[in-house]
């Protein structure tokens, strides 16, 4: 007979709070079997599913996405339409992630310029920061803002 794990054991092994495990059961994302006393009993497959959920959450998937797109019960046969649907979803998620990475790279560059400006504050470094801020603003709004240079720099008013 396969080893079964209590909610306490699963919580300790995987570092998932018991309330979270109960919530996953309530929403049907991982549904362990029940003993005659209604205690949850988790199989090794349930633990693998829970590890996959943790990994997907680390990859910024919401529980709604995880529950809606991934079938955690063992498939008896591979459904090509399901596989295609999940592959398309993952492609879209990858594109979204790349967009976030590009955004975070821009934020990192902005922070570098701001730190450098503050460490060696002078008119030239302040101007570089202002130019970089305007570039980011244009990227955000995809057009030239209707603010004149003097207003944006804040030094001419």
Residue from 19, 18, 23 nearest 7 by CA: 18
Mean per-residue pLDDT over the chain, rounded: 85
Among 33, 50, 69, the domain-final residue is: 69
- Residue 65 sits in a domain of what CATH number? 1.10.1660.10
Instruction: Look at residues 17, 43, 69 and tell me which one is the last residue of a structural domain.
Output: 69
- Domain range holding 122? 80-142
Structure-derived torsion over alpha carbons of residues 39, 42, 46, 48, reported in degrees to the nearest 10: 140
Residues 62 and 9 in one domain: yes
Torsion region of 154: left, alpha or beta (phi above 0 gives left; psi -120 to 50 gives alpha): left
Q: Are residues 61 and 85 in the same domain?
A: no
Residues 98 and 117 reside in one and the same domain = yes
Burial class (CB in 10 A: 0-12, 13-18, 19+), 70: middle
Q: Which long-range contacts (CB under 8 A, 24 or more apart) does 42-51 make?
A: 42/4, 42/5, 42/6, 42/7, 42/9, 42/10, 43/2, 43/4, 43/5, 44/2, 44/3, 45/74, 46/5, 46/10, 47/5, 47/10, 47/13, 47/14, 50/10, 50/14, 50/16, 50/21, 50/24, 51/14
Q: Tell me whether residue 90 is in a domain.
A: yes
Kindly state whether residue 156 falls inside one of the protein's structural domains.
Answer: no
In this structure, the answer to whether residues 138 and 89 fall within a common structural domain is yes
Domain boundary among 36, 69, 102: 69
Only one residue has tokens 């030094």, namely 155
Give me 17's structure tokens: 């709070």
Residue 149 domain flag: no
Count other C-beta atoms under 10 Å from residue 39's C-beta: 13
Count of domains forming the chain: 2
Residues 93 and 52 in one domain: no
Q: Is 74 inside any structural domain?
A: no
Residue 148 reports pLDDT greater than 80: no
Decide if 121 is inside a domain. Answer: yes
Place of tokens 């362990």: 32
Assess whether 85 and 115 both reside in one domain: yes
56 with 101, same domain?
no
Check whether residue 103 and residue 59 sit in a common domain: no
The predicted pLDDT at position 156 comes to: 44
Over residues 58-85, the pLDDT tens digits come to: 999 999 999 888 765 566 777 888 889 8
Please tell me whether residues 62 and 84 are part of one structural domain. Answer: no
pLDDT at 7 over 80: yes
Q: What is the pTM of this model?
A: 0.68
């Amino acid at each position: 007979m396969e080893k079964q794990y209590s909610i306490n054991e699963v919580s300790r092994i995987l570092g998932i709070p018991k309330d979270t495990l109960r919530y996953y059961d309530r929403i049907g994302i991982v549904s362990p079997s029940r003993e005659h006393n209604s205690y949850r009993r988790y199989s090794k497959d349930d633990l693998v599913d829970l590890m996959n959920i943790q990994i997907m959450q680390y990859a910024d998937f919401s529980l709604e996405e995880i529950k809606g797109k991934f079938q955690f019960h063992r498939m008896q046969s591979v459904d090509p339409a399901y596989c295609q649907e999940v592959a398309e979803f993952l492609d879209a998620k990858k594109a979204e992630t790349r967009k976030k990475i590009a955004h975070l790279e821009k934020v990192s560059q902005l922070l570098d310029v701001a730190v450098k400006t503050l460490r060696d504050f002078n008119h030239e470094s302040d101007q570089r920061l202002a130019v970089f801020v305007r570039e980011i603003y244009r990227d955000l709004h995809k057009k030239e803002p209707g603010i004149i240079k003097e207003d944006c720099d804040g030094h001419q008013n």
